[in-house]
Structure 1
Amino acid sequence: MGRQLWDADWEITKPLVQQLIHHQFPQLSSLPIQEIGNGWDNSVFRIGDDYVFRFPRRQIAVSLLRTEARILPKLENYITIPYSKPLFFGEGSEEYPFPFLGYTYLSGKFPIGISDKARKQSTVTLARFLKNLHAFPVTTAQQEGVLFDQRNLTDLAERKDKMLSFLDHLTLFITQEELNEIAEYLHGITLDRVKPQHVLIHGDLHFKNMLVDDTGKLTGIIDWGDVNIGHPACDLSIAYSFLPPASRHAFYEIYGEVDEETQILAQMIAVYIPMLILMQAINDKEEVIALEAKSIIQRAIANS
């Protein structure tokens, strides 16, 4: 395989992090450092018990991180759930060319392998969170440098073609019957494009950017690197990927009614994102993540 979407431009190592923290935030230099993981755009390290730092590993993430640093403090009166709040603002240097951010550490774990019963208890929390986030004034977001989404999310025909092409990469991990179910779902989408809508969105709301407690209840939202002004369906996809199908109606009762186009796009994104995560997990030989992504696809295409 050639270069992948998730390949890094810059390797973030523990010695590098120690060096950056020591030089820029010496008050933290005595604290232990633990690597938490790598996303597509950032590497994440826990510093002591109270802080977590994100370091861009791709050039494309730099402008996103700067925007995140400006907008996140403005959301405090809107967000109804704990979220990453930046406290330390690192600058590029000879050791590392990119800016980086340090946040309050949010306790919890990724919602991997949890039951439908556990997922259901977060229905109200998720609906209220997104209702308030999407009510944030777009003009204020623009003033803080938040850009309009450039991912062409509303082009369903193009996305469907991409997703059908992804199936060829999943044949070793998904049964033919499961592949047929996904293909049948995709071929059943006859809408080519939805009308643009503009609200402030998290932009990357999936299980690797959510935290839950030991009971599976949602406790925090992390990684706001893709925050932008775009179609609410991008975030509403969580109603299909995370919640069991039987909870979707209750979710929309709290969030508010949305048109059929929005629901179609939200469900489609709920399948698209875990397909990407599954391909990366297969490439990286992360079986637990691959199994979770596979189960999300099955949940997302299920009828309520």
Structure 2
Amino acid sequence: MTSTDIEITADLVRDLLNDQHPDLADRPLRLGARGWDNQQWRLGDDLAVRLPWATPGADDLLLKEHAWLPSLAPLLPLPVPVPQRLGVPTPRFPRPWIVTTWVPGTPADQAPLTRAADAADTLAAFLGALHRPAPADAPGGRGRGALADQADRFAEQFAAVTGQGLLADPDGVLAVWEDAVAAPDRTGPAVWLHGDLHPANVLTRDGDLCGVIDFGDLRAGDPATDLASAWVLLPDGAVDRFHTVCRPAPDAATLRRARGWAVLGALDGVLIGEAGVQGRPGGKATWGPPAHAALRRLVATTADA
């Protein structure tokens, strides 16, 4: 159910298309995925309909994608979902929605990256292309500023996972976090960020990256936020190569901050994988293994430093 108590069905999506984009209404339609914020319905072979269905803030995230992704997508070396049409609120469905291109592939939480060198190179190339200075009117994030501003979030996550006995080395995780928040803040210009590069938002084929989806957290900020994804996405032995091939090469302070962002993302993954999040029932079991692997890599990195 949506926040407006309207059930999203194939018939509803078809009616919305008939009303606003009738040239697309006859295409085959089937449910693609239900995320935290949006439902995605595949439309034919090359399009998808994304509709907000849970959190009220999802409306703004879709409108942000529609506003910014068409200009950013041509600059990126991997396929991303490019908005093609905008659906406006109506009494039938009083929220905005979009039609985007469909990006084929399997989410990395279901088909992890296995080609270490290729995956490291592909991720570095993607972030190098994305992390260009953002314009002054670029959007901000959902309460995500400097890493030090996330202290309460970390404390809540850490208490939850340790209280449930879900961490193999809580002292090691705490040491990674404390080192990260002690790192100098970024002084360079804010760059474009994906902002949510967890395994379910990265697509794979044959062990390598083949696409990136869900740009709802697209914003300007510190590249350390996205560089954190290396520990969460890449297989063992690939993170060092990723840092070597990144352009521009991240400095030591950026990598320290990135480890902190990686801890936050991994703790989210552990909690979601084990028991769900934010009052939603159940969890997503496929989120747990990559999150635990990321924490193991992060602790080992700090121990070797």
TM-score by length of 2: 0.83
> Retained in 2: the 8 A contact 1:51–1:102?
yes
Question: Would you say the 8 A contact 2:272–2:285 is kept in 1?
Answer: no
Query: Quick one: distance in 2 between partners of 1:173 and 1:291?
Result: 16
The one-letter amino acid paired with 2:143 is R
Q: How does 1:11-30 map to 2 (within 5 A)?
A: 13-14=8-9, 15-30=11-26
**Equivalent residue for 2:31, pick from 19, 26, 35:** 35
Contact 1:202–1:224 (Cα < 8 Å) also in 2: yes
Equivalent residue runs for 1:1-304 within 5 Å? 9-10=3-4, 13-14=8-9, 15-57=11-53, 58-112=55-109, 117-135=114-132, 137-139=133-135, 142=136, 145-149=137-141, 151-156=143-148, 158-171=149-162, 174-175=165-166, 177-189=168-180, 191=182, 194-195=185-186, 197-213=189-205, 215-244=206-235, 246-254=237-245, 255-281=247-273, 282-283=275-276, 284-303=282-301
Alpha-carbon offset, residue 271 of structure 1: 1.9
2:242 partner amino acid? F
Q: In structure 1, how many angstroms separate the alpha carbons of the residues matched to 2:2 and 2:271?
A: 16
Q: Which amino acid aligns with 1:82?
A: P
Q: Does structure 2 conserve the Cα–Cα contact (< 8 Å) formed by 1:233 and 1:266?
A: yes
Aligned residues: 291
Q: Offset at 1:93?
A: 0.8
SS at 1:146 equivalent: coil
Gaps of 5+ in 1: 1-6
Question: Aligned AA for 2:296?
Answer: Q
Could you tell me how far 1:115 is from its partner in structure 2? 6.1
* CA displacement at 1:113 relative to structure 2: 5.8
Query: Aligned with 1:35: secondary structure?
Result: strand
1:130, CA displacement in angstroms? Answer: 1.0
Aligned residue type for 1:292:
P
Preserved CA contact (<8 Å) 1:182 1:301: yes
Q: Quote the Cα distance in structure 2 between the aligned partners of 1:21 and 1:218.
A: 32
d(CA) in 2 for partners of 1:38, 1:193: 39
Is residue 147–residue 181 contact of structure 2 (8 Å, CA) maintained in 1? no
Task: Name the CA distance, whole Å, in 1 between partners of 2:2 and 2:162.
Answer: 26
- C-alpha distance in 2, partners of 1:88/1:200? 23
- 1:76 offset after TM fit, Å? 3.8
Report the alpha carbon displacement of residue 172 of structure 1 after superposing the two structures with TM: 7.7
* CA distance 1:95–1:277, shift in 2 (3 Å): farther
SS at match of 1:122: helix
For the 8 Å contact 2:191–2:221, the answer to whether it is kept is: yes
Q: TM-score, normalised by structure 1?
A: 0.83
Question: How far does residue 184 in structure 1 lie from its aligned partner after superposition?
Answer: 4.1
Residues 290 and 150 of structure 1, relative CA distance in 2, 3 Å threshold: closer
The answer to whether the Cα contact below 8 Å between 1:120 and 1:244 also exists between their aligned partners in 2 is: no
Match of 2:279 in 1: none
Q: How big is each residue's C-alpha offset from its partner over 1:142-192, in whole Å with a ceiling of 9 and x where there is no partner?
A: 4xx522346343142x42443233233335865453444423433454617
CA distance in 1, matches of 2:244, 2:198: 21
Deviates further, 108-117 or 125-134? 108-117
| Structure 1 contact 83–221 (Cα < 8 Å) conserved | yes
Displacement of 1:127: 0.9
Unaligned runs of 5+ in 2: 277-281
